[in-house]
Amino acid sequence: MAHPAGSAPRAQVVIIGCGFGGLEATKALCDAPVDITLVDRTNHHLFQPLLYQVATAGLSAPAIAAPVRHLFRKQANVTSLLAEVASIDPVQRVVHTTDDGTLPYDHLIVAAGATHSYFGRDEWARFAPGLKTLDDAFEIRRRVLLAFESAEKERDPQRRADWLTFVVIGGGPTGVEMAGTLAEIARQTLPGEFRRIDPAQARILLLEGSPRVLQAMPEDLSEKAARQLRKLGVEVRTGSRVTSIDAHGLDVTPAEGAPYRLASRCVIWAAGVAASPLGRRLAEATGAQVDRAGRVTVEPDLSLPGHPEISVVGDLAAARSHVPGKEPAPVPGVSPAAKQMGRAAATNIVRRLRGEPTEPFRYRDYGNLATIGRNAGVVDLTTPFGRVKFSGYPAWLFWLFAHVYFLIGFRNRIVVLFDWASAYWSRQRYARVVTDIEPAPTDG
């Protein structure tokens, strides 16, 4: 933006990434005397907590994706740019994009987020897609729906059973939500639509390496979640490590007993996340540290050591929460934390512009929630009056309204509520659209 003749040039802020962290940082700089360039490699902000609904055909993509440009149309100090960042030059203070664009900055907020990690076994990606982007969600939707179609066409009983075995790897919130929803699709949505198979016979397995699902939750809620999953017909197997995956199934080593083979044609990866590779490149350029997950270790105020003009927020940051009188505690990789970090980094930019000292980041934990299908969930809230835990139907309702409330945009909220109301009453999932019926990859 041009600045009024005669006034001092406005500080240039570049924000990389329009997830929860970048979005909140941009909003928080609304009235600041800065020009913001918001760079993202997609044209939309994605409401990731509901991505599993797109993957399981409950929602269409536009219901959870808002065009970035449209979100900031009225915030005049924002220029939105669809581009991929190639590198950051902390000496020249410029960001280079892959299409030869160069963005100079006075302040930089890096909120490039995370992707899924196969713990060094990237060859598993073809056989067990993860869930981070809309394309990931379409791929999982395609595989799930085509598995039932292939089973209907298959005449060999063993191969038919393989098509009807769904394995979700990873018992975090995404894995639990995916497994619960798959069980509902098999038991409630599809029965009556096939003539040769009974979709209700499908097996859904949830494998988790640690001793319990939803590790971020208190133990009793993990137990309740596992029980609710089993009630839906999910085989929950904790303490089960996956040692290999191929086109026809996977090998599992349980905590007790002998390793075994699971035949399956549809495996979904919900196990690991790794920070965006941009983190490592940024660390190399600035001398910052990265942790094992590739997250950049930041100062208490979320800036980089020796580079107060660069902040890293969200899933890309290895940050700590600073509460006076307490030991700094690691900040979890959840969306409320990303939002709070985005706001904190923006506020610190404003403080620096005013010549004030920055403030250390303090994470306010309001709790944790997860849903398990249409009617069940677990909630663990931290309120001013203490901790509140509940599960079952009230937890599901709470989860639903919390998610709809935080959805970006009035319109999306109504659409999602309508979709869910109609799915709830009809037990149907309306986004069952597959455009590419190529079969899943084989070993050959």
* 132 part of the interface to a copy of itself, by CB under 8 A: no
Q: Residue 230 Cβ, how far from a copy of itself at the closest point, in Å?
A: 28
* 102 part of the interface to a copy of itself, by CB under 8 A: no
Return the number of the residue (191 or 254) whose C-beta is nearest a copy of itself: 191
Cα–Cα dist 295/299, whole Å:
13
Q: Residue 22 Cβ, how far from a copy of itself at the closest point, in Å?
A: 17
How many residues make contact with a copy of itself (CB under 8 A)?
Answer: 54
| Region binding a copy of itself by CB under 8 A among candidate stretches 121-129, 259-267, 328-336, 411-419 | 411-419
Q: Which of 12, 30, 61, 406 binds a copy of itself (CB under 8 A)?
A: 61
Burial 67-104 (b: 16+ CB within 10 A, else e): ebbebbeeeebbebbebebeebebeebbbbbeeebebe
Return the number of the residue (139 or 208) whose C-beta is nearest a copy of itself: 139
Q: What angle do CA 293, 64, 46 make, to 5 degrees?
A: 35
* 247 part of the interface to a copy of itself, by CB under 8 A: no
| Region binding a copy of itself by CB under 8 A among candidate stretches 11-19, 143-151, 302-310, 374-382 | 143-151
| Region binding a copy of itself by CB under 8 A among candidate stretches 105-113, 144-152, 206-214, 302-310 | 144-152
* 125 part of the interface to a copy of itself, by CB under 8 A: no
Interface mask (CB under 8 A) for a copy of itself, residues 64-93, using x and -? -x-x-xx--xx----xxxxxx---------
Contact indicator for 91, 27 with CB cutoff of 8 Å: no
Q: Which of 422, 424, 441, 442 binds a copy of itself (CB under 8 A)?
A: 422
Q: Which of 14, 15, 144, 145 binds a copy of itself (CB under 8 A)?
A: 145
**Of 24, 139, 154, 177, which residue is the catalytic one?**
177
Structure tokens at 266: 């549809």
Cα–Cα dist 132/215, whole Å:
20
Does 177 participate in catalysis according to the annotation? yes
CA 236 to chain CA centroid, nearest Å:
22
Q: Which of 12, 43, 115, 238 binds a copy of itself (CB under 8 A)?
A: 43
CA 12 to chain CA centroid, nearest Å:
29
Could you list the active site residues? 177
Contact positions vs a copy of itself (CB under 8 A)? 1, 41-44, 57, 60-63, 65, 67, 69-70, 73-74, 79-84, 99, 101, 133-135, 138, 145-146, 149, 152-153, 192-196, 411-412, 414-415, 418, 422, 426, 428, 430-437
